[in-house]
Amino acid sequence: MRKIFQFIILLGTMAAYSACNPNLVFEQYQPVKNRNWGKDSMLVFSVPVSDTSGNHNLYINVRNDIDYAYSNIWLFINIKQPNGAGLEDKFEIALADPAGKWLGEGFGGLKTREVIFRKNVFFPMSGNYKITIQQGMREDVLPGISDVGVRIEKAE
């Protein structure tokens, strides 16, 4: 019952946020199976881009439960353009402050941390961009990560 309540709250928050954000271009979350993210498990996002006239901000969002054992998470991020050209990068997200307080928002045992990955990104061509995210921590299986998301907004 608690998970259903958290899911309803999450959907309501996402709907309210997207209704209030006219700059939102894309937002999607991928669940991590059983909240155990394997090192070889890649989360794939297909991002349709039609507007190549402006710059965009790319966010990476991570949902962790409060039993997550670390204060951060390292990610390997790969972005492929429709023509196959790509960008690979490592990205660290702090999930808790040095005192151990979770930085993400949320109710109960689940926190969502939203962080800008890249500012003022220009998409040079229209088509489907493929964003792949893989955990880069030392553990083969990383427990405590619930979902990972990508959000793209028009830069102001």
Count of the separate structural domains present in the chain? 1
pLDDT digits (tens, 9 = 90+) for 40-65: 999 999 999 998 889 999 999 999 99
- Residue 142 has, within 13 A of its CA and on its CB side, a CA count of 26
What is the CATH classification number for the domain harbouring 107? 2.60.120.380
Report if residue 149 sits inside a domain. Answer: yes
The whole-model pTM stands at 0.84
Say what the pLDDT of residue 9 is: 55
- 3-class state of residue 114 by DSSP: strand
Say what the pLDDT of residue 4 is: 61
Report if residue 134 sits inside a domain. Answer: yes
Report if residue 9 sits inside a domain. Answer: no
Cα angle 89, 95, 101; round to 5 = 160
pLDDT surpassing 90 at residue 36? yes
Report if residue 146 sits inside a domain. Answer: yes
Q: The domain containing residue 94 runs over which residues?
A: 25-154
CA distance 78 to 80: 7
Cα angle 71, 107, 132; round to 5 = 55
Contacts of 16 (CB under 8 A, 6+ apart): none
Q: Which of 9, 30, 31, 13 is nearest to 21 (CA)?
A: 13
Report if residue 11 sits inside a domain. Answer: no
Report if residue 3 sits inside a domain. Answer: no
Contact present, 106 and 43 (Cβ < 8 Å): no
pLDDT digits (tens, 9 = 90+) for 50-108: 988 899 999 999 999 999 999 999 999 999 999 999 999 999 999 999 999 999 999 88
Average pLDDT of the residues in 109-136:
96
Report if residue 123 sits inside a domain. Answer: yes
Tokens of 63: 């949902």
